[in-house]
Structure 1
């Protein structure tokens, strides 16, 4: 039985990275693998549910770690991961720890799992990517675009999409007057632009509501912006929840306003619920999920006026919502766990 470890910063957050790592760990543990998740820091319990087969450990008792902690964390990782056959760094920045591990544990194989796109840069992730290119056994990207970029530097790279992470039947009947957005309330997700878009059209559709589900550091600022824009009665904020499926089932359109992404899990989830999609065509991600005019609309990056026009086209036409929603269901098959998990198993041999 192969022993697989996931190294991740924390499981306490409600983001897509934590969600998909949890889903993959659970899926592998149900097959012929012994799985554990090694967290850099110990915050609170996992936001998403891990099954009983998955062991969780922590390199630090701190609620968060700094760069100055990396030396001690590296030494603890050697002890924690010495028995593993594979270690998967959930984020290329963690190659800064997993690559040195290979020097001390000669039998371990290291996988770098890219969770952003290559335009997202920083000193730690930059170093991690270089170490991964030089020394990792495999690099997994979320998009074909990034896979092609990595292949200019290494052949040991493969694109594996994130799998659908929720189990639900498609239940939207496309008559709901709710538009749904899900994500962390942070600059990356562009909810400030979404509030602007809604402010420009909501008066024409008094029976429609925009729902934003998530937590984050911009919550207060976004609520202030919404109040100033006069959309308080038609825009509602909801806390992040494990039961996100209930929100998908209550909507008839899914809207995403991100400034950048890796591969947006929310789009994958929304289309598996049969929702038509609309999103800015940011650097990577949306175009891997949305075929413009087929299962939704790809909007030129950050063009709020075009976003308004296409969103209204969906709001006005239930038959268009239904057609695109049905196409979303067809497209969702390539992101199913039945298709994605075997691709990981081909590597973990």
Structure 2
């Protein structure tokens, strides 16, 4: 079976990239012919390990820099593009050249399974892919987080797919309502391993991780942690990730007097080690798809404190058993939940043990066969009429 995965930037560090690379590696290990297509390339080497059997192809190499206009702004396209709408969060990547390269590649594929992994690429596949190819759209974000302009494009074009794969039951219900008659299937992302070193609950460290962007809500986490630090000054907060909000977050750290308590750790290739040496994981996002770093933290027997944001945390956690869910964007409630865990090691151990058990549902050996079965079924359905004739 030929399986092609299209990623915007396979050389990056995002959660979608990690999960798609894991999936590609698993499909290659099952003996399939697997290719990852990186629409753009801005780094020399991939950040996640690729199985040697997986082919990596780049459509537009941008390592020499991104073209800008006379005001220093990134050029999106000189004329409005044909497919990718402005409402897509990665629209700025899709210069005229990039969009044309993606369209040309999609149109050139003649067999096997083509998996696209974000709305921009899904829309290109829906509108330009060869109808003889099995097309699967992966959605890694909840439908309600998209602007209305993008939701309208999804409703208009996603019916062309053989299947649309979403991450949670909440997502499945939303996409079924928006796309009547289209096959919507829930397959969660898999963690890279559930056999991780458990936290011993010996270090007064809370961990958060993600891009330093508004979505991740670190501007809400800092004032919440400030309340915790006043009562428990020995505790520290470490935030892993990079992004455009770094300067704003540094300013907030200073404003709340947290310079000795909070560290912006930047990017790391050793997050598993950091999680094993911490005692609580906190998710402060305004919205999510399926928060994979949170689930990876659970594999280390870490209890979770999370905003009950759309979607993901409630689909994974049972409040009071493996973590604490608090109302979305409620800073005082987030502070109170953190304080509850910080003050009670026995509770952290009990919830951490339950979290590790919950995370086993996301083990590769449980998730990857679902993809293999789906692709096999779709290819059989596509070719069966020809064989019968």
* TM-score bracket for this pair, using the shorter chain length: over 0.9
When structure 1 is superposed on structure 2, of 90-99 and 59-68 the one drifting more is 59-68
Q: Which residue in 1 is equivalent to 2:104? A: 75
Per-residue CA deviations over 1:181-208 (Å, capped at 9, x if unaligned) read: 0111111100011111112221221211
Q: How does 1:37-76 map to 2 (within 5 A)?
A: 37-44=36-43, 45-62=45-62, 65-69=93-97, 70-76=99-105
Q: Which residue in 1 is equivalent to 2:252? A: 225
State how far apart, in whole Å, the 1-side matches of 2:264 and 2:95 are.
34
Count of residues paired in the alignment: 344
Q: Which residue in 1 is equivalent to 2:146? A: 121
Q: How does 1:98-113 map to 2 (within 5 A)?
A: 98-102=125-129, 105-113=130-138
Q: Which residue in 2 is equivalent to 1:159? A: 186
**SS of aligned partner of 1:41:** strand
State how far apart, in whole Å, the 2-side matches of 1:324 and 1:130 are.
40
Give how far 1:221 is off: 1.3
**SS of aligned partner of 2:40:** coil
Q: How does 1:90-239 map to 2 (within 5 A)?
A: 90-102=117-129, 105-122=130-147, 125-126=150-151, 129-130=154-155, 133-152=158-177, 153-166=180-193, 168-239=195-266
Unaligned runs of 5+ in 2: 67-92, 377-389
Residue among 281, 284, 303 paired with 1:257: 284
When structure 1 is superposed on structure 2, of 230-239 and 60-69 the one drifting more is 60-69
1:343 paired to 2:342: no
Give how far 1:277 is off: 0.4
Asked whether the 8 Å contact 1:99–1:131 carries over to 2, the reply is: no
State how far apart, in whole Å, the 2-side matches of 1:125 and 1:59 are.
24
Residue among 349, 355, 373 paired with 1:328: 355
Per-residue CA deviations over 1:244-296 (Å, capped at 9, x if unaligned) read: 10111011100010011000011110111110001000011110111100001
Asked whether the 8 Å contact 1:93–1:126 carries over to 2, the reply is: no
Give how far 1:62 is off: 3.2
When structure 1 is superposed on structure 2, of 255-264 and 8-17 the one drifting more is 8-17
Give how far 1:169 is off: 2.2
Q: Which residue in 1 is equivalent to 2:19? A: 20
**SS of aligned partner of 1:348:** helix
Q: Which residue in 1 is equivalent to 2:81? A: none
Q: Which residue in 2 is equivalent to 1:245? A: 272
Per-residue CA deviations over 1:65-107 (Å, capped at 9, x if unaligned) read: 425332343123323x33x4001111133122112343xx343
Structure showing greater Rg: 2
State how far apart, in whole Å, the 1-side matches of 2:154 and 2:59 are.
22
Unaligned runs of 5+ in 1: none
- Mark the CA change 1:168 to 1:330 in structure 2 (over 3 Å): closer, same or farther: closer
State how far apart, in whole Å, the 2-side matches of 1:89 and 1:244 are.
27
Q: Which residue in 1 is equivalent to 2:79? A: none
Give how far 1:15 is off: 1.3
- Mark the CA change 1:197 to 1:270 in structure 2 (over 3 Å): closer, same or farther: same
Q: How does 1:256-275 map to 2 (within 5 A)?
A: 256-275=283-302
1:3 paired to 2:2: yes
Per-residue CA deviations over 1:222-254 (Å, capped at 9, x if unaligned) read: 112101211010111112122210111011100
Q: Which residue in 1 is equivalent to 2:312? A: 285
Per-residue CA deviations over 1:30-87 (Å, capped at 9, x if unaligned) read: 10211111111121132212121111112222366425332343123323x33x4001
When structure 1 is superposed on structure 2, of 293-302 and 170-179 the one drifting more is 170-179
